[in-house]
């Protein structure tokens, strides 16, 4: 979370803009929160260049809830094609099976999810209600740097992307997307806010068993206020949106600036790993994530020492996910270049230190 | 929201307890957030005297989402009896019909929801999966001051209460309850956190169409961390719990202290209304809510002047819900006695002022 956002939130905690209220105390139907909500919607639409024929929904439940909510809204219990590229798409596939005919169109499981199956190899059914892809896998560190063009692959199905972990780190080509969803907690704001961006023609097909609070059409018709929205989380996300708008890098602004910076950060870290004798990243170079960089020490007996030294320098949360092991550096938008430079400096120093 | 809570939250925004992190930046699986979560759970269990055979779940989606989630978890698509006493139970009844055989056991609609149907008159089926009651209706201002004893009524079904709008304002007799749910935004914390307290024997009966993120058993097994929980909202709620623990009134502490104070606040306001020639509360005196006090000006032409004068004194959000009209004073836990005294003083002054 950018410090500027936290500082502003702290200063406004007891009195937002002279209203005499904390944002936490506002009625979600009052004019004060209304203005916060409208600005957040407009800023996000501008930042992500969301076209007018897409709705931006602020929901609850996170990506894991969306694993059920998407098929409840879009599948009509029919067949859906899944591309499995790591833990998150695996969970989505498994959950969807409760609601629709979930089919595996492609998987990179045999490579240990260190590569992405080429779109040309995907087995897409002509009757597919939609195609699900997780465009960045946080645990395995693989990322689709370009979205697949389903039309070019001969499919008429809409593409659903889980962009939880790269939203606002790069631009989105909406011409290829039917629906994008993501928890806010990586790049957009605090946990407890879920973003859904959905093309309007996909609304109105929810199954009978879809809870009204998670029916996209109902949420859209009520401006994300069918049920009480997570007001404070929306406010914080709105502050993050303003922070993103103000970012500049090499003549770019907003998300494009962050994209530049994220490329630079990732390059720095992957270069360090690739040039080293100690560290190793096993992901196919064309599919490496710019958000999550898993790596291993070839001498695993030094893992504990590596983590202890990192912690001592304030380089936190570097332990890899238990399902994969090793290390993982998550370098989301809020991580400055200096943070990655500090990590690289430590990694180089650790490598040259006697074991 | 108590000022003390907001002040503490503001002061810890950038650095929680010397961790160098904002609560918003913590991993929900890290030890820092773990301690926040455990304390919030333990404090709430103590405050509400929740017995050990009940799980406390921190969820998302609010009361409106629970209107679907409860039948998805408890109904097994079978019959459920609803007691309709106002807008909220009406919504619950309507939503449940998508998932189970929702039956109307009793309704006070003919009175305009100004009274509560006596439990002895409820038509409870012997095959009912559960009985749903909204124990405080915010719009109509009716409250069950004592929970119905279903066993005494000859029913073996568990009682489900929607206590969104009175949770922590009074004690709960858990011997009469199977499940209680509520959004946090009235008395417990910010919007975006939903509390579910459920007896353990009711877990494990979810329907196939229940999204995993809303499957109570799965949520319970994962300590409310199956999906990423609304971490910051839980933290704020935890601060509110500590504030409640510290409350004292007439030798009582915690929720009992608030209950004393809430009775006093409500009495003051109802007395003012009942003694007045201008104001009128139409709710049966035995069923009047201590949280939400709807009232009307017998001379409706003075409504606008009443609201304008109130706003000028910082007495905000007094306009009644559009479905009912008139005025409504919501006097939740965080409203101090002085706030009600100020309202009463204004009401008396307004009444004696020439129209």
Q: Token pair of B32, please?
A: 């820092």
Question: For residue A292, which residues of chain B lie inside 8 Å, CB to CB?
Answer: none
Q: Give CA–CA dist A267/A261, Å, rounded.
A: 10
The phi and psi torsions of B319 (rounded to 5 degrees) equal: -70, 135
Q: Which two tokens stand for residue B320?
A: 């009644």
ipTM of the predicted assembly exceeds 0.90: yes
Task: Give the closest-approach CA distance of A190 to chain B in angstroms.
Answer: 6
Question: Where do the domains of chain A lie, and which CATH numbers do they carry?
Answer: 3-245 (3.40.640.10), 249-352 (3.90.1150.10)
> What's the rounded Cα separation, in Å, for the pair B222 and B37?
13
pLDDT in tens, B2-12: 999 999 999 99
Nearest CA in chain A to B7: A14
pLDDT single digits (tens) B240-288: 999 999 999 999 999 999 999 999 999 999 999 999 999 999 999 999 9
Stretch (H or E) spanning B295: strand B292-297
pLDDT band of residue B106 (cuts 50, 70, 90) is: very high
Q: Do B24 and A13 touch (CB under 8 A)?
A: no
Torsion of CA A320, A322, A326, A327, to 10 degrees: 10
Who among B68, B229, B236 is closest to A211 (CB)? B68
Q: Which of B16, B43, B88, B265 is catalytic?
A: B88
Nearest residue of B to residue A100, measured between CA atoms: B209
pLDDT for B355 beyond 70? no
- The helix or strand, by DSSP H or E, that contains position B238, with its residue range, turns out to be helix B231-245
Beta bridge partner(s), residue A104: A82
Read off the pLDDT band of B134 (50, 70, 90): very high
Cα distance from N-terminal residue to C-terminal residue, chain A: 35
The dihedral over CA atoms of A208, A209, A211, A216, expressed in degrees to the nearest 10, equals -60
Chain B residues closer than 8 Å to A96 by CB:
none
Look up residue A200 and give its DSSP letter. G
B271 classed as catalytic: no
Q: Where are the beta strands (DSSP E) in A149-257?
A: 159-162, 179-183, 194-199, 248-249, 252-253
CA distance A152 to chain B (A): 33
Measured distance CA(A208)–CA(B102) in Å, rounded? 15
With contacts defined as CB-CB under 8 Å, which chain A residues touch B185? 228
Three-state SS at B232: helix
Q: Which residue of A has its CA nearest to B99?
A: A209
Best CA proximity match to A80, nearest among A65, A99, A61, A52: A99
Looking up tokens 């939880």, which residue turns up? Answer: A164
- Distance from B87 to chain A by nearest Cα, in Å? 14
Which residues share a beta bridge with A326?
Answer: none
Q: Is residue A354 flagged as an active site residue?
A: no
The encoded tokens of residue B244 equal: 């409640």
Nearest to B68 among A6, A28, A212 (CB): A212
CA distance B331 to chain A (A): 13
Q: What is the pLDDT of residue B20?
A: 87
Told to judge if A263 belongs to the known catalytic residues of this protein, a careful annotator would answer no
Give the nearest chain B residue to A96 (CA atoms). Answer: B211
How far is it, in rounded angstroms, from Cα B207 to Cα B199? Answer: 18
> In this predicted structure, what is the pLDDT of residue A20?
87
pLDDT of residue B163: 97
Reference B265, options B288, B290, B245, B231; nearest CA is B290
First CA to last CA across chain B, in angstroms? 35
Q: What gap in Å lies between CA B23 and CA A38, rounded to an integer?
A: 26
Give the tokens for residue A11: 């200063």
Per-residue pLDDT of chain A (355 residues; tens, 9 = 90+): 899 999 999 999 999 999 989 999 998 988 999 999 999 999 999 999 999 999 999 999 999 999 999 999 999 999 999 999 999 999 999 999 999 999 999 999 999 999 999 999 999 999 999 999 999 999 999 999 999 999 999 999 999 999 999 999 999 999 999 999 999 999 998 999 999 999 999 999 999 999 999 999 999 999 999 999 999 999 999 999 999 999 999 999 999 999 999 999 999 999 999 999 999 999 999 999 999 999 999 999 999 999 999 999 999 889 999 999 999 999 999 899 999 999 999 999 999 997 6
Q: Is A99 in Cβ contact with B24 (below 8 Å)?
A: no
């Amino acid at each position: 979370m950018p410090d500027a956002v936290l500082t502003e939130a702290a200063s406004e905690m007891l009195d937002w803009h002279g209203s005499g209220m904390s944002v936490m105390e506002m009625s979600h139907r009052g004019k004060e929160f209304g203005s916060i909500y409208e600005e957040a919607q407009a800023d996000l639409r501008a930042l992500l260049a969301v076209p007018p024929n897409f709705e931006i929904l602020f929901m609850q439940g996170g990506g894991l809830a969306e694993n059920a909510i998407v098929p409840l809204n879009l599948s009509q219990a029919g067949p859906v094609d899944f591309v499995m590229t790591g833990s998150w798409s695996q969970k989505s596939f498994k959950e969807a099976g409760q609601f629709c005919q979930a089919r595996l169109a492609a998987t990179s499981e045999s490579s240990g999810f260190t590569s992405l199956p080429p779109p040309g190899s995907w087995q897409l059914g002509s009757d597919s209600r939609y195609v699900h892809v997780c465009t960045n896998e946080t645990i395995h560190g693989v990322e689709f740097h370009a979205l697949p063009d389903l039309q070019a692959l001969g499919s008429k199905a809409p593409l659903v992307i889980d962009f939880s972990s790269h939203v606002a780190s790069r631009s989105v080509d909406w011409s290829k997307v039917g629906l994008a969803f993501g928890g806010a907690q990586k790049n957009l704001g605090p946990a407890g806010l879920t973003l859904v961006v959905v093309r309007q023609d996909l609304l109105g097909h929810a199954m009978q068993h879809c809870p009204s609070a998670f029916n996209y059409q109902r949420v859209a018709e009520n401006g994300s206020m069918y049920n009480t929205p997570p007001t404070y989380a929306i406010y914080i996300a709105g502050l993050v949106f303003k922070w993103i708008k103000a970012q500049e890098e090499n003549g770019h602004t907003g998300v494009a600036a962050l994209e530049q910076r994220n490329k630079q950060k990732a390059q720095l870290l992957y270069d360090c790993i690739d040039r080293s004798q100690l560290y190793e990243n096993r992901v196919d170079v064309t599919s490496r994530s710019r958000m999550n960089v898993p790596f291993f020490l070839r001498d695993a007996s030094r893992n504990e020492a590596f983590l202890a030294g990192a912690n001592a320098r304030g380089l936190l949360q570097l332990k890899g996910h238990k399902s994969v092991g090793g290390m993982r550096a998550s370098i989301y938008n809020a991580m400055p270049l200096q943070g990655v430079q500090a990590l690289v400096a430590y990694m180089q120093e650790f490598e040259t230190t006697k074991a």
